[in-house]
Amino acid sequence: MTEPLLLVDRREGVATVTFNDPARLNAMTEAMGEAISAAMADLANDDMLRAVILTGAGRAFSAGGDLDMIDRMGAAGRADPGGPPRAENRDFMRRFYGLYLSVRDLPQPTIAAVNGHAIGAGCCVALACDIRVAADEAKLGLNFARLGIHPGMAATWTLPRLVGPAHAAELLFTGRLLDGPEAARIGMVNRSLPQQDVAEQARTLADTIAQASPLAIRGTKRSLARTFTASLDEQLATEAHEQSLCYEDANLAEGLAAAREKRPPRFSDS
């Protein structure tokens, strides 16, 4: 029996989604993308779910794009420069990005547990998560230019927001790979630690998030998504609206009671 390209494990309000093509270092194929998109749509509708962890089976998170696919598209483009293949390649890639970046559409916080190499498109998927924990030994980078192709999968949008424009330009122009500690130092990942501790650290973060009020967490994620495009007044209006929703939620009363009684809160699903 063929192994599924994606594994999804739900446990105590946390889902762990695992790229499951270790023989190919979890290459970003179209089939893998279809599986990710379907899984994200399912998880997004799970009201009991508090956080999602994304990781890879074997020794890589994902070593990048499907080189055979890229080669086929390049051959078609070179055979008819400026002709129909250009539009076909453009439209295919735009759809392809959307399959993997569906992780950005989840209402729950997402954590990339970068257990091994995350390169090219694989790195982009990790960058699309809200939080990243990487192995010290992992190699991370956006090597598109070294393959002769413009960056994709939101690399030019996500990376500057995380590391700043100067670091982003260096990494995208050179395709240089970073280890976990350097990636953490420049803000590409939240922290790095020994490979054997990555899964546990990601789970600890997810469990901590799961202990907070679901309505407050989901609202906070919505607000954070707006922060680079909203003015201060617009963001204040957003915060006031999200707080007004929390005033209607029984979890606020529980949170206040727990604070007064000096005990952990017991939040319920909203």
C-alpha–C-alpha distance, residues 56 and 116, integer Å? 8
pLDDT tens digits, 95-140 = 999 999 999 999 999 999 999 999 999 999 999 999 999 999 999 9
pLDDT (tens digit per residue) in 202-226? 999 999 999 999 999 999 999 999 9
Pick the CATH number of 6-209 from 3.40.50.300, 3.90.226.10, 1.10.10.10, 3.30.70.20: 3.90.226.10
Distance CA 106, CA 51 (A): 9
pLDDT at 1 (0 to 100):
60
Per-residue confidence of the chain (270 residues) as pLDDT tens digits? 678 999 999 999 999 999 999 999 999 999 999 999 999 999 999 999 999 999 999 999 999 989 999 999 999 999 999 999 999 999 999 999 999 999 999 999 999 999 999 999 999 999 999 999 999 999 999 999 999 999 999 999 999 999 999 999 999 999 999 999 999 999 999 999 999 999 999 999 999 999 999 999 999 999 999 999 999 999 999 999 999 999 999 999 999 999 999 999 999 886
φ/ψ of residue 239, rounded to 5? -60, -40
Structural tokens at position 58: 């074997």
Our CA angle for 240, 52, 160, nearest 5°, is 70
